[in-house]
Amino acid sequence: MRSIVIGAGMVGLATAWHLQEYGVEVTVLDRTGVAAGSSWGNAGWLTPGKAIPLADPSLWSYAPRALLDPDAALHVPFRVDAGLWLFLARFASHGTMRAWNRTMAALTPIDKIALDCFDELAAGGVNAWTRKGPFVIGFTEQAHAEGFVREIEGVIRHGQDVPFERLYQPRDLAPQLSEAVAFAYRLDGQRFIEPAPYVEALADAVIARGGKILPGVEARRVGSGRRPTVTLIDGAQMEADSVVIATGAWMPRLARPLGVGVQVQAGRGYSFTVQTEDPARHPVYLPFQRIACTPYQGRFRIAGTMEFRRPDEPLQPRRIEAVINQARTLLTGINFEERQDEWVGSRPVTPDGLPLVGETRAPGVYVAGGHGMWGIVLGPATGKLLAEKVVTGKTDPAIAPFDPLR
């Protein structure tokens, strides 16, 4: 069998790797290159205990305040964009406890196998590390921790094992926290990676096993006649036994003509790296400010913001400033003026919080994406289960709720 995978991020490459496990000959196309999209500058968190629905009842109180606060993590530009406002209306309709529980129940089976799938890649020759926490969760006051505790308790109620406990000396683990952080938790059972090096190692493994990765090749259309066909921007065509569309926030352009009608909106995240006076050893999370920090190649990556814009819009410097304004009083020993690696990446968000994984209306053409903020942690499990679907026709129950034709 031959398969074409469009998209060389975590999800696409994990799918390619697992297709190779079945003996499929794989070619991966990407309009830019490996890890060029949201797989590059994210926080690198492998936290199935935090892979939860983005919409919850707190949205109704938080969103109106955030829209009026230029430093808030949530940012929506005020513009005439019917598609964006339709998405936001649909997204907000899932901000109920009933919808949260329904989505969490659907995510839990894949959450529970997520870390094992990273171990499987390591055992299969992917030369990159995953590192255990603990994750240090900080708040300026106890009342701000209520939402975080409620989320973790909800995840546990749905069947995950997520150890967490009150932490009385958070600066012993994370000296980057200032004295303003007066209340903290320790979260265990999770891991982190350096995302760009990890995805590059995964690409190397795909190539070492005989796969081809073609950067600078953009697909214009995917169709299915006698065999699935990919038409490139230059008019050339490529055929295979199967095609997987894993283009993240750009998925609708190729997938909508194939019957995938679920909206996918770019929820853009920002990050940068800084030096720290004390070496950063553990990830730090500031939930009230929606800021995630991770050790990264000897520096400290600070990530935040959920900005709903079009995926190809340029980086907005004001969003970097917003993250800094939120973090400045909570982090210490950091010179925010000496930033490196400023980045924006477009995460693919669906209104109901569920990914899109499975076959389209075009026989032999599949999609894999729509994971929102959880594409890194759920990418290997998605690739494993979709590869099984492509080769055997069987749908694992863990991805059944992610039907792209729902």
| Tokens 């603990």 sit on residue | 134
pLDDT of residue 161: 97
Q: Is the Cβ–Cβ distance between 12 and 380 less than 8 Å?
A: no
pLDDT of residue 225: 84
Longest distance between any two alpha carbons in the chain, whole Å: 65
pLDDT of residue 274: 98
Residue of 11, 56, 52, 2 lying closest to 249 (CA atoms)? 11
Q: Is the Cβ–Cβ distance between 191 and 118 less than 8 Å?
A: yes
**Residue 319 to residue 302: CA distance in whole angstroms:** 12
3-state secondary structure of 135: strand
**Residue 247 to residue 217: CA distance in whole angstroms:** 13
pLDDT of residue 67: 85
**Residue 147 to residue 406: CA distance in whole angstroms:** 30
Given a cut of 70, the residues of the chain with pLDDT beneath it are none
pLDDT of residue 224: 87
pLDDT of residue 78: 87
**Residue 367 to residue 262: CA distance in whole angstroms:** 12
Q: What residue type is assigned to position 294 of the chain?
A: T
